[in-house]
A and B are shown apart, each in its own frame.
Chain A
Amino acid sequence: SQTIHQWPATLVQPVGSPLSLECTVEGTSNPNLYWYRQAAGRGLQLLFYSVGIGQISSEVPQNLSASRPQDRQFILSSKKLLLSDSGFYLCAWSSRGMKVGGTEAFFGQGTRLTVV
């Protein structure tokens, strides 16, 4: 069965420090991968998505970047965190199926990031 791991669960970082959040998927190959941010009590904002190794699409210009060094690994990074980067970050994967096999997204447990 497929599983998705996201860590850490909670992170408190000072302004100006770097960030690295990691997400890995097991039990599937060639997945679509997504990073979302959720402000308190708000919706999910799509930050990045990837359809393959090294292929990253950015949805919102910001202080963050993403990389996909391996097929089932997706990393969210920042060189210098801002206060506005605080939030709840969710990683997700979905299959690359089309009409047959296209499925919903499966989510990690999320990372609560507080920038102080």
Chain B
Amino acid sequence: AQTVTQSQPEMSVQEAETVTLSCTYDTSESDYYLFWYKQPPSRQMILVIRQEAYKQQNATENRFSVNFQKAAKSFSLKISDSQLGDAAMYFCAYRSAEPPGQGAQKLVFGQGTRLTINP
């Protein structure tokens, strides 16, 4: 079974600085999707960034970028120029890209990292 681990329960960063959130996962599959979600105090889940495992190029969305290391099964999120609005819980998630079947469409989340932005 696939598992996702976020080893940093809490992180803090000064406004305008850069912070990196860690995520590792365990899978025997070769093709899958990885996601970072943000959950602000409103508790609405918001997609931050997505990575397809078959793509070697790291995904980037404005100030958010990932460092995807497939062999190491690592998927970290870098937030540049941190802003007060970035304060939230951040979740790493995994989903198989295999055809629909037993467990193939399951979406598994890590335990989350609470990010605090210091003004």
Name A's B-contacting residues (CB within 8 A). Answer: 32, 34, 36, 38, 41-44, 46, 49, 51, 57, 59, 88, 90, 92, 94, 96, 98-99, 102-105, 107, 109-110
B6, B91, B100, B109: the one contacting A96 at CB < 8 Å is B100
Cβ–Cβ contact A43 & B111, under 8 A: yes
In the complex where A99-B31, A104-B47, A107-B44 touch, is A42 in contact with B100 (Cβ < 8 A)?
A: no
B residues in contact with A51, CB < 8 Å: 100, 105
| CA–CA, A31 and B43, complex, Å | 23
Interface string of B30-71 (1 = CB under 8 A from A): 010101000000011101001010100000000000000000
Cβ–Cβ contact A32 & B105, under 8 A: yes
| CA–CA, A11 and B50, complex, Å | 33
Cβ–Cβ contact A110 & B109, under 8 A: no
A38 to B, closest residue via Cβ = B43
Size range of the chain B interface in the assembly: 20 to 34
B residues in contact with A107, CB < 8 Å: 44-45
B residues in contact with A57, CB < 8 Å: 102-103, 106
Query: Would you list the 7 A-B pairs with minimal beta carbon distance, nearest first?
Result: A43-B111, A107-B45, A44-B109, A32-B105, A43-B112, A104-B47, A51-B105
